[in-house]
Chains A and B, each alone.
Chain A
Amino acid sequence: MRILVVEDSMIADMARAELTQTLAFEPLVISDPVAALDHLRRERFDAAVVDMLFQAHSDEFESRRRDGEVRLTDARLHLSGLALLRAAQSAGTPTVLWTCGEANRRLHIMFAHERLDCRAMCLKYLRGGLTAAVQAVLSGSGYIDPLLRMHLPPRTAPSLRETFFASSSRRAIWRAMALGIHDHARIGRAVGISGGTVRRGVEEMRARLVAFDPGCSRDGPPTAELVRYASQNWEFFLDDTVREVYP
């Protein structure tokens, strides 16, 4: 039995200890997601346990984003656990998303469920949850921690695809806003359309956002609300895998 655990914090030791004790075999623990991607492509695993955000990668990307050094055309955008989930999905490896479920992972969790068919999610720092989730995927069933289930949308809510990824220009506008650009003309330049086209599109983008998240404001200038949302969720809008799936 081969299990891969991709986790960059000290809690990886807890995962190793828990799986070794309860399932009687020691998992391969990798802290670097790039190395883990390589393992997933080259080797065969019975299951993979994947963290969502990796501190070193996120910090380095955020520093470049703040310095204005990130371009939407860069070869790689923000690397997250979504890349690992996708690689595992391609290799036919069942996966467990292992996350603390903080606010900046909210859209990632929904994307993993909606687009990458991830059906096993467990919360870190919860005794026994990881074992239950790994056992579930090994037996071909799903397991979603009740607390993480709260991140999944109600049936009536519009999907991420309908809300954010309906057209390539809308996707690019969201990404430009996540870079911190808030001027129609500059967004247009970054995206390759005119500032006027951006201005004409933002009202509908806001309407879709409000349908997705009724807590967002429908008053005031739409661009300000969209930029606020994009900046708050930059890890998602600038995610490399999200761009791969929705170019």
Chain B
Amino acid sequence: MRRSTNVELLASTTEKLIRPFEAMALFLQAANLFSSAVNDRYSALGVRVVVVLGVLHLALAGLVLPHRGPLTRGRTWTAAWIAMIFVVQLLLARLLAPGDFAAYGTGVPMGNYALIPLGVFAFYPWGRHRRLIEVGLIVAVVAHPLVILALIHRWQLTGAHVRSVVMYAGWAVVWFLVGKGIAWLCRIAVRLETEALSASYTATLGDLHTHVESAIEEIEAGNDAREVAHRLRLLTAARRGQLLLRAGNVGAADLFKNAIRACGDRLRLVSGPQLGGLTVPREHAILLEQGLADLLKNVVVHGSGSAEVGFTMTDSDMTLDVRDFGPGLEPSRLDVSGSSLHQLRTTLRERGGDLRVLPPPPGGGAAVRVTVPIWSRR
């Protein structure tokens, strides 16, 4: 089977969307049970059973919403959900007043209880045996009232029974098509997502080409090639940074490399951290990138251009240390409103982090420390 990029994207988008739908389906099943307890004719015990079932479904919906539902938990849970649908309907048919099941030619009592999940099943990407599973589910949903009638009336069906089952089959097809409609919306969403991504890449590339061409023209016109190269390097680093920060987790070494390379030969790295395979969740990476850019710029402008950089990450926070070999840094400089370091400290403090000047290291220079709390995981 050939799987294109869009098919993979579609599968992952559908998987993400299916979770709230699972909770919604269980919630609607609970509502259907409560409605049946009020509208259908049950014995006193039957009403209690139906209400208890409704409460259980409501609790399940509440559990599924923050965690995972049967479909996303795997085949065993999915099979259990499907089995539960048929068992509950059999039980309710047994609890109904004798002769009431599908007896009025208007459909099947509690019919929506099975039809709601059928809509979700139609939307679910089943994989290789999708068609077979979908046909099997429709047949099972449509046939089960017949089985119940056969058990109750031993195939002595009336015209009203047949009309009820046919009407129910019609609704089954409608719910299935609703599910397919949602799947269709997913495909549209994926196509738009792909087009937006593609347009964004085209724009980025076009922008880069424009800058490269104008840099060539500037050099040909006799402008300072070193200055043009510096501007181009800054631009490339900014674009690379944007691309890096698109990923959910960003390689820490990639962030550091990009920030250091953006400074070109104006910065000399005396020592840097060994980061190995460490990645940083995007929301923290954005802060880290900003901190690095501002502190390294400070080293280039005020701190002699040589830097020692250290970084550690624990369960609770990230710590970035930057030391330069310049004339030193007064802590009061962080209080100068409008300066980049002041702005950085404000941003960090808004997110529970901080920027502070450390005591002057042996050998002179300035040492500053950025801390960023790890406030949440995906």
Interface residues of A (CB under 8 A from B): 66-68, 101-103, 106-107, 110, 146-147, 149-155, 157, 160, 180, 183-185, 199, 212-221, 228, 232
Contact = CB atoms under 8 A, between A and B. Distances in A.
A213 B277 contact: yes
A232 B248 CA distance: 10
30 contacts: A66-B3, A66-B8, A67-B4, A101-B253, A102-B254, A103-B251, A103-B254, A106-B253, A146-B272, A147-B260, A147-B269, A150-B252, A150-B256, A150-B274, A150-B275, A154-B275, A157-B277, A180-B8, A183-B74, A185-B74, A185-B75, A214-B278, A214-B313, A214-B314, A214-B315, A215-B249, A215-B313, A217-B281, A220-B378, A232-B247
Interface in B252-271: 252-254, 256-257, 260-261, 269, 271
A106 B252 CA distance: 10
B85 interface: no
Given A146-B271, A213-B276, A214-B315, 18 more contacts: A66-B3, A68-B1, A68-B2, A101-B253, A103-B244, A147-B261, A147-B272, A149-B272, A150-B274, A154-B274, A155-B274, A185-B74, A213-B278, A213-B279, A214-B278, A217-B377, A217-B378, A228-B248
Nearest to B128: A186
A153 B377 contact: no
A166 B335 CA distance: 52
B68 interface: yes
Contact of B254 (A106, A160, A219): A106
Interface of B: 1-5, 8, 68, 74-75, 127, 244, 247-254, 256-257, 260-261, 269, 271-281, 313-315, 377-378
Closest 8 CB pairs of A and B: A153-B276, A215-B279, A150-B253, A217-B377, A103-B251, A154-B274, A146-B269, A213-B277
A152 B248 contact: no
A106 B278 CA distance: 10
A150 to B, nearest CB: 4
A233 to B, nearest CB: 9
Contacts of B276: 110, 151-154, 157, 212-213
A22 B141 CA distance: 79
A221 B275 CA distance: 26
A11 B4 CA distance: 32
Given A102-B254, A147-B257, A219 B377 contact: yes
| Majority DSSP secondary structure for residues of A touching B | loop
Contact of A66 (B4, B127, B254, B261): B4
Contacts of A149: 272, 274
B345 to A, nearest CB: 24
B51 to A, nearest CB: 33
B259 to A, nearest CB: 10
B175 to A, nearest CB: 26
A199 B68 CA distance: 16
B377 A151 contact: no
A102 B255 CA distance: 10
A190 to B, nearest CB: 14
A164 to B, nearest CB: 10
A221 B277 contact: no
B68 to A, nearest CB: 7
Contacts of A183: 74, 127
Contact of A221 (B68, B261, B280): B68
Contacts of A228: 248
Contacts of B8: 66, 180
B212 to A, nearest CB: 14
B274 A67 contact: no
A106 B277 contact: yes
A154 B275 CA distance: 6
Contacts of A212: 276-277
Given A146-B269, A152-B276, A67 B3 contact: yes
Most A-side CB within 10 Å, residue of B5, B252, B277: B277
Contact of B253 (A151, A216, A218, A232): A151
B1 A151 contact: no
Contacts of A217: 281, 377-378
A153 B281 CA distance: 18
Contacts of B5: 66
B222 to A, nearest CB: 23
A183 B68 CA distance: 15
A150 B279 contact: no
Interface centre among B248, B254, B281 (most CB of A within 10 A): B254
Contacts of B249: 215-216, 232
A215 B272 contact: no
A107 B254 CA distance: 12
Of residues A153, A215, A219, which shows the largest number of chain B Cβ atoms within 10 Å of its Cβ? Answer: A215
A67 B276 CA distance: 32
- Quick one: which of A102, A150, A154, A213 has the most chain B CB within 10 A? A150
Nearest to B4: A66
A183 B313 CA distance: 32
A155 B314 CA distance: 15
Contacts of A232: 247, 249
Nearest to A151: B253
